[in-house]
A and B are shown apart, each in its own frame.
Chain A
Amino acid sequence: MARNPVTWLGSPTFPKAAHEALADTQLRQNLRKATGTIRGRRAAAVGEMTDWEQLRVAGEQIKDDVLSRLDTLLLQLEESVTARGGVVHWARDAEEANKIVLDLCRAENAREVVKVKSMATAEIGLNEALEAGGVHAIETDLAELIVQLGDDRPSHILVPAIHRNRSEIREIFQRRMGVEVSDEPADLAEAARVYLREKFLTAKVAISGANFAVADSGSIVVLESEGNGRMCLTLPETLITVMGIEKLVPTWQDLEVFLQLLPRSSTAERMNPYTSVWTGVTPGDGPQRFHLVLIDNGRTATLEDSVGRQALRCIRCSACLNVCPVYERTGGQSYGSVYPGPIGAILTPQLVGDMHDPQAASLPFASSLCGACFEVCPVRIDIPSVLTHLRAEAVEAKGRTAESVAMAAAAWVFREASRYEKAQKAGSLARFLARDGRITSLPWPGSKWTASRDVPAPPSESFRAWWRKNRG
């Protein structure tokens, strides 16, 4: 089987990548500013809701219901979309999904397609696959455009260019669009409007993701801000939507929960500027050919794990990224995946499905387990619990290592009081390595421990020895 492109080929493990990212002061400044802003605004948007907790519980329950009868609901969705003139395709993995989309573009003779921001298509590496097949995909979301024009990688689920500040964006626009523009956000937005206008008006094929699909009506829902989504979903003749199989809600009524949870959690607004809903094809309004591509790409394997499957409740709001102290300091690219931050740390390794992959296996450790992510999650994904669960899996996959041998030895020592006392006595000798009461480098194998932290010097005498001498 081909490797899952959800992680970027050749990415270093998280600790290595984080180490480099931490040295980038500009990056840390940009992230501190952006995440600080959104944290405050989200808290206010959520604070004015008296029933927020009840909405979260309902969101969790609806999504768990979806996961418990996913086969039935997917068949129902297929039936309702087909009945309204849409065509449904199924793809086991990224390669299969990319081929379906490329073939559809070729059937329309499209050399250039416009795209609405979509995590699913980023996950499967669709743009690269299309490019290799001779079809150029133009990202129309402002942040995606900044990433695309900057030959960069995304660093956030909602705002992929969050690591760029306004003057960096200005530089990219001037270089790639060949225009003079100031670093005022309004001017930068205007430059994007002018740059993309012609593309929207002439594109024959658009590609989108989906925030939700309603099983009983066959309706697809896309939330956005700029109107680039509406352009793509309305003007071209053909629309191809790529969606993970878990993006379902059972009924139209269920949307009343998510249309309240998602905007406040993601952009901290009561409602995002535009939400589009369409069902198959509407004669005389919008694209007259509609294709829906349902992708698995590791989701069914994730579903098998009774602890890990809750990651499939995720509605991609990115609130967990914005509150995460690790994400704020390392940035999104350190995670080596389109899904960074706390949700990425549990979703990416599960989608990869191979804990022998050292990069994927390092992600569950990219957390201090502080729990802020769980607190803000609109569908109550217990990210810390899944992190520890996956850590155990990663350790197990590693087999016998210096650490596991040391732990086994420690267990043997702790089992007998006499062994323990002898070990303590021997250990107290380590104080001769200390300077100012701290040991900064132990000899091997202790060096593995002191490579990333100091050890306090052990006292000259253990408590047990002192007790025997003075009170015994």
Chain B
Amino acid sequence: MASAKEEILARIRNAKVPPVAPTVRGYDREGTGGVELFAERVADYRAIVHVVTDVPEALERLKGKRIVAPHDVPAEWLVDGVTWLHEPLTIEELDQSDGVLTGCAVAIADTGTIVLDGSEGQGRRALTLLPDYHLCVVRVDQIAASVPEALQRLEPTRPLTFISGPSATSDIELNRVEGVHGPRTLEVLIVG
């Protein structure tokens, strides 16, 4: 008897679907948005946005809290007065922290999206998921205008998380409500 794989492939070939012409990409692949649009669209999701010049100064807001930070965030971000939690951390420790501070890989102005890829200053995916508060630092040069531009900058085989605002649901009467399983508060620092 043929394996499921062989049989499915044979059925597909048997359907004899004719080849098609190459895809026409007549849509806008560039986009024009920058910092301003990005800030506006992040705020539309009811995230908190600040444009700052001095990150350590802006991090004063974390004073007195227990904050998770990947080991490779810039040393100047680890300001005094904060209890910094570093890996290795258990799921319970992450769950019981007050928040997490990370950088990002890319951001998208058109959609107000932040993308994490687990590289420098971002840590593994669970770090930005279990704490109820996520403070994300976005450098201006990390902001791509459009979705196509952002995807071009990303390496698809890395573990990627696209974040557009705090966790939300539209499941009750199709209206968006913020705050379900992911961080209920998202705060973004755009460093100009």
CB pair B167 A277 closer than 8 Å: no
Q: Which residues of A contact B41 (CB under 8 A)?
A: 270
CB pair A275 B162 closer than 8 Å: yes
Interface flag for A296 (CB, 8 Å): yes
Interface flag for B192 (CB, 8 Å): no
A143: contacting residue among B92, B113, B165, B171, CB under 8 A: B171
Sampled A-B contacts (25; CB under 8 Å): A33-B173, A35-B174, A38-B174, A61-B23, A65-B20, A74-B9, A90-B4, A140-B181, A142-B180, A143-B171, A169-B172, A186-B177, A186-B178, A225-B180, A226-B181, A253-B151, A260-B27, A276-B159, A277-B156, A277-B159, A279-B156, A279-B158, A282-B159, A285-B118, A300-B15
Whole-angstrom CA separation of A294 from B20 in the bound complex: 24
Q: Which residues of A contact B86 (CB under 8 A)?
A: none
Nearest-Cβ distance from residue B2 to partner chain A, whole angstroms: 10
Whole-angstrom CA separation of A55 from B183 in the bound complex: 32
Q: Which residue of B lies closest to A196 (CB)?
A: B181
Interface flag for B61 (CB, 8 Å): no
CB pair A257 B27 closer than 8 Å: yes
B157: contacting residue among A84, A161, A192, A296, CB under 8 A: A84
Q: Which residues of B contact A189 (CB under 8 A)?
A: 169, 172, 177, 179-180
Chain A residues in the interface with B (C-beta under 8 A): 30, 33-35, 37-38, 50-51, 54-55, 57-58, 61-62, 64-65, 67-71, 74-75, 84, 90-92, 96, 140-143, 146, 158-159, 161-162, 165-166, 169, 185-186, 188-190, 192-193, 196-197, 200-201, 214, 217-219, 225-228, 230-231, 233-235, 245, 252-257, 259-260, 267, 269-280, 282, 284-286, 294, 296, 300-301, 303-304, 309
Q: Which residues of A contact B152 (CB under 8 A)?
A: 253
Q: Which residues of A contact B17 (CB under 8 A)?
A: 67-68, 70, 303, 309
Interface flag for B65 (CB, 8 Å): no
Interface flag for B89 (CB, 8 Å): no
* Residues 92 to 141 of chain B near chain A (Cβ within 8 Å): 92, 95, 108, 110-113, 118, 124-126, 129
Nearest-Cβ distance from residue B109 to partner chain A, whole angstroms: 11
Whole-angstrom CA separation of A214 from B21 in the bound complex: 20
Nearest-Cβ distance from residue A120 to partner chain B, whole angstroms: 15
CB pair A34 B12 closer than 8 Å: no
CB pair A304 B151 closer than 8 Å: no
Q: Which residue of A lies closest to B44 (CB)?
A: A270
Interface centre among A70, A140, A227, A280 (most CB of B within 10 A): A227
Q: Which residues of B contact A230 (CB under 8 A)?
A: 125, 129, 161, 181-182
Q: Which residues of A contact B168 (CB under 8 A)?
A: 225-226, 273
Q: Which residues of A contact B159 (CB under 8 A)?
A: 276-279, 282, 285-286
CB pair A272 B164 closer than 8 Å: yes
CB pair A142 B167 closer than 8 Å: no
CB pair A226 B182 closer than 8 Å: yes
Q: Which residue of A lies closest to B16 (CB)?
A: A304
Whole-angstrom CA separation of A50 from B26 in the bound complex: 11
Interface flag for B147 (CB, 8 Å): yes
Q: Which residues of B contact A50 (CB under 8 A)?
A: 28
CB pair A270 B110 closer than 8 Å: yes
Interface flag for B52 (CB, 8 Å): no
CB pair B5 A256 closer than 8 Å: no
Q: Which residue of A lies closest to B108 (CB)?
A: A271
Given A230-B129, A235-B126, A273-B166, A165 and B173 contact (CB-CB distance below 8 Å): yes
CB pair A58 B24 closer than 8 Å: yes
CB pair A227 B164 closer than 8 Å: no
Q: Which residues of A contact B9 (CB under 8 A)?
A: 71, 74-75
Whole-angstrom CA separation of A253 from B26 in the bound complex: 14
CB pair A296 B11 closer than 8 Å: yes
Q: Which residues of B contact A303 (CB under 8 A)?
A: 11-12, 15, 17
CB pair B176 A267 closer than 8 Å: yes
Q: Which residues of B contact A267 (CB under 8 A)?
A: 170, 176
CB pair B167 A227 closer than 8 Å: yes
Whole-angstrom CA separation of A250 from B162 in the bound complex: 21
Q: Which residues of B contact A37 (CB under 8 A)?
A: 173-175
CB pair B12 A300 closer than 8 Å: yes
Whole-angstrom CA separation of A226 from B3 in the bound complex: 39
B170: contacting residue among A159, A188, A270, CB under 8 A: A159
Whole-angstrom CA separation of A420 from B177 in the bound complex: 64
CB pair B129 A231 closer than 8 Å: yes
Interface flag for B148 (CB, 8 Å): yes
Interface flag for B45 (CB, 8 Å): yes
CB pair B7 A142 closer than 8 Å: no
B126: contacting residue among A30, A90, A234, CB under 8 A: A234
CB pair B129 A234 closer than 8 Å: yes
Nearest-Cβ distance from residue A117 to partner chain B, whole angstroms: 10
Given A142-B180, A270-B112, A227 and B28 contact (CB-CB distance below 8 Å): no
Interface flag for B163 (CB, 8 Å): yes
Q: Which 9 A-B pairs have the closest CB atoms?
A: A227-B182, A300-B11, A227-B181, A226-B180, A275-B162, A54-B26, A277-B160, A143-B171, A54-B27
Q: Which residue of A lies closest to B19 (CB)?
A: A68
Given A219-B157, A234-B125, A279-B156, A270 and B111 contact (CB-CB distance below 8 Å): yes
Given A90-B3, A92-B8, A267-B176, A193 and B181 contact (CB-CB distance below 8 Å): yes
